[in-house]
Amino acid sequence: MVWKLNFFYNKPGSGEGEFEYARGLSVSPHTGNVIIGDINNKRIQILDDQYNYVTGWKIKVNESLLCPHALHRVNNEILAATIEGYTTLWHCPDVKDLSDYKPELRLAFGNDYFVFPRAISTTRKGHLVVSDVGKHRISLHDLNGTLIRDLGKLGTDDATEFNWPYYVNCDATGRIMVSDSHNRCVKLFDEDLRFLGSFGKDVFTCCTGVNYLDQHGGRYFVGDYDSQSFIELNKEGKVVDDIARDLKYPLSQVEFDQQGRIVTTCFPGFYVYSEEQLRPNNKSNMLSQSHHVYNANN
C-alpha cells in the first residue's frame, strides 16, 4: 500500500474559500468539515466534506485582528487556536448545519506567558499542550488556561531543550509528538512531559506537521519544510516511503479525515492523500502523478 495524492485544493486569494497561507487545520471525524486557519487574511474558514465554503470569521482579540497559526478540536463544542501572542478557545459546534453560527471567543490566555505560541493539541487527560517557538518550550494547561507544567529552553538536549518546536500532536496511546524543527527531529513525551525518545535526525532538515496512525504496525507522517517533502516512517522512526518530494508548497499541519485520508495544509489550500494498492512498476507518489486539482479557475 502507498499514499497517493488525489486532490489538491488550490485557491489563493482573499475571497470566500480562498487562502493566503493556510496553516492551521482541524478535520472533523463526524461531519467531515474542514476548518483552516488563514494566516495572511487573519481569519478561520470552514469548508464542508465536499470542500464547499460554509462560513468563516476574522480573528479579533482585544479589538486587534490577529493571525491564526494552528487549530485543534478539543471536543464537539470547542475549537482551540494558537494566534499571535495568545492561545484561544472558540465555541464552534461540530455540526453539519452552521448557517446560523456566530463565532464566540470563550477564552484567550497566555499573552503574559507566550512569546510565539505555534501549535496546539489535547492530551488524553484533557490538557492543552502548546508549543512556543519564541520561548523554545512546550507547556500543559487546563481548559481555563491555567499552567500545569512546562518544559524547555533553547538548546540541543533531546530531553529538555528545543530549537523552534514547530508542531505538536497527541496520539491514541497518550504520547505527545513534537516536531523540533531546527534540531531536525521529532521528540516523544508522555502526558506529564517526561521524555520518551526521538527520531529523524538523519532524515529531516526542518520538520513541520506530524501525526501518527496506528496501522501497519504504527506509522508517523511528517512534513519537512526545507526539502519540501512529506515522509512516512515506521514506529521505530525509520523511513518507509517518501510520499512526496519537491512539493511546490511545503505542507504545514497534518490530520486525518473521516475516510482515513491524510489532509495537510499548504499556502493556497491543502493536499489530500489516500492509501492505495501499489501497482507493479508504479512506485511514484510525486505531485507529477495524475490527481484532481481544485483551483480558482475550476
Segment 230-244, tens digit of pLDDT: 999 999 999 999 999
Three-class SS state of 183: helix
Q: Residue 99: its pLDDT value, please? A: 86
In the predicted model, what is the mean pLDDT of residues 36-64? Answer: 96
Q: Residue 6: its pLDDT value, please? A: 92
- Single out the residue of 103, 108, 102 nearest to residue 144, CA to CA: 108
Instruction: With a cut of 50, say whether residue 273 has pLDDT above it.
Output: yes
Q: pLDDT class for 277, splitting at 50, 70, 90?
A: confident
Sheet bearing 128-132, strands edge to edge = 117-122, 128-132, 137-141, 147-151
Eight-class DSSP state of 162: B
Q: pLDDT class for 13, splitting at 50, 70, 90?
A: very high
Residues 6+ apart with CB under 8 A from 7: 271, 272, 291, 292, 293, 294
Instruction: With a cut of 60, say whether residue 291 has pLDDT above it.
Output: no
Q: pLDDT class for 294, splitting at 50, 70, 90?
A: low
In the predicted model, what is the mean pLDDT of residues 91-98? Answer: 94
Instruction: With a cut of 50, say whether residue 144 has pLDDT above it.
Output: yes
**How many residues make up the chain in this entry?**
298
- Single out the residue of 243, 235, 269 nearest to residue 21, CA to CA: 269
Instruction: With a cut of 90, say whether residue 289 has pLDDT above it.
Output: no
Q: pLDDT class for 287, splitting at 50, 70, 90?
A: very low
- CATH class name, domain 2-295: mainly beta
Share of the chain above pLDDT 90, in %: 88
Q: pLDDT class for 275, splitting at 50, 70, 90?
A: very high
User: pLDDT tens across 176-211, in order?
Assistant: 999 999 999 999 999 999 999 999 999 999 999 999
**Is 191 exposed, middle or buried, given 0-12, 13-18 or 19+ CB atoms closer than 10 A?**
middle
How far apart are the C-alpha atoms of 243 and 212, rounded to whole Å?
15
Sign of CA dihedral 255, 165, 131, 160: positive
Instruction: With a cut of 80, say whether residue 28 has pLDDT above it.
Output: yes
Show the cell assigned to 279: 501497482
Q: Residue 23: its pLDDT value, please? A: 97
Q: Residue 130: its pLDDT value, please? A: 98
Report the chain's mean pLDDT, rounded to a whole number: 93
Q: pLDDT class for 293, splitting at 50, 70, 90?
A: low
In the predicted model, what is the mean pLDDT of residues 138-150? Answer: 98
Instruction: With a cut of 60, say whether residue 297 has pLDDT above it.
Output: no
